[in-house]
Amino acid sequence: MDAVDRAFAAHPRQGFLPRAVRRRASYDGPLPIAAGQTSSQPRTVADMLRLLDVRTGQRVLDVGSGSGWTTALLAHLVGPTGEVRGVELEPELVRFGGDNLAATDQPWATITRAAPGVLGDPGGAPYDRILVSAEPAELPQELVEQLAEDGRMVIPVAGTMLLVTNPGAHVSEHGYYRFVPLR
């Protein structure tokens, strides 16, 4: 069992889903949460977290935190010496995800409302790791600029999962996935 498996065991998806779909928590596919958004397929989340290679004590930005599940998983991975900042555009999901995250008792992780028209959290940058759970048509330079010198970002772009690593913003491709659009 690796660190990602341990995070999944500590924070089961069921606790981050609306009551109406909790019985389907073990389904390995996306499930609706609210505001036209979804809780991502567990296998996809695990793949993304392994690519991200989160370490204890790191600062992590979770773009599109949704139900708070990925924020909680990231918080487990960084531990109490780290910091996770989830940003979410949908007010309903900021509340829902924030409540779900609070129930995990990981005060080093937060979810806040994303500023409309602003990607990520430029004011809090740089981040060691950035996880993006929504899909733009092109790699957003404004997120690349929020990466630390030796940072890593995992982001689905136009159907392809990308790993962006610094220094040099090197981009590699890691399979095909579908996500809700990044706004």
Task: Show pLDDT as tens, one digit a residue, over the chain (183 residues).
Answer: 899 999 999 999 999 999 999 999 888 888 888 888 888 889 999 999 999 999 999 999 999 998 999 999 999 999 999 999 999 999 999 999 999 999 999 999 999 999 888 999 999 999 999 999 989 999 999 999 999 999 999 999 999 999 999 988 898 999 888 787 777
Number of neighbouring beta carbons within 10 Å of residue 128: 23
- The one-letter amino acid code at 6 reads R
Please state, in angstroms and rounded to a whole number, the distance separating the CA atoms of residues 47 and 119: 23
- The one-letter amino acid code at 53 reads D
Catalytic residue among 40, 65, 67, 133: 40
Please state, in angstroms and rounded to a whole number, the distance separating the CA atoms of residues 182 and 52: 19
Contact in structure between 83 and 109 (CB atoms under 8 Å): yes
HSE-CB for 111 with a 13 A CA cutoff: 30
Mark whether 133 is an active-site residue: no
E strand intervals along 18-146: 31-34, 37-39, 59-63, 83-88, 109-113, 127-132
> Could you tell me the pTM of the whole model?
0.94
Q: What pLDDT does 69 receive?
A: 96
Q: Measure the CA dihedral 130/53/58/105, to 10°.
A: 90
Q: What pLDDT does 124 receive?
A: 95
Three-class DSSP category at 51 = helix
Q: Could you give phi then psi for residue 93, rounded to 5 degrees?
A: -80, -30
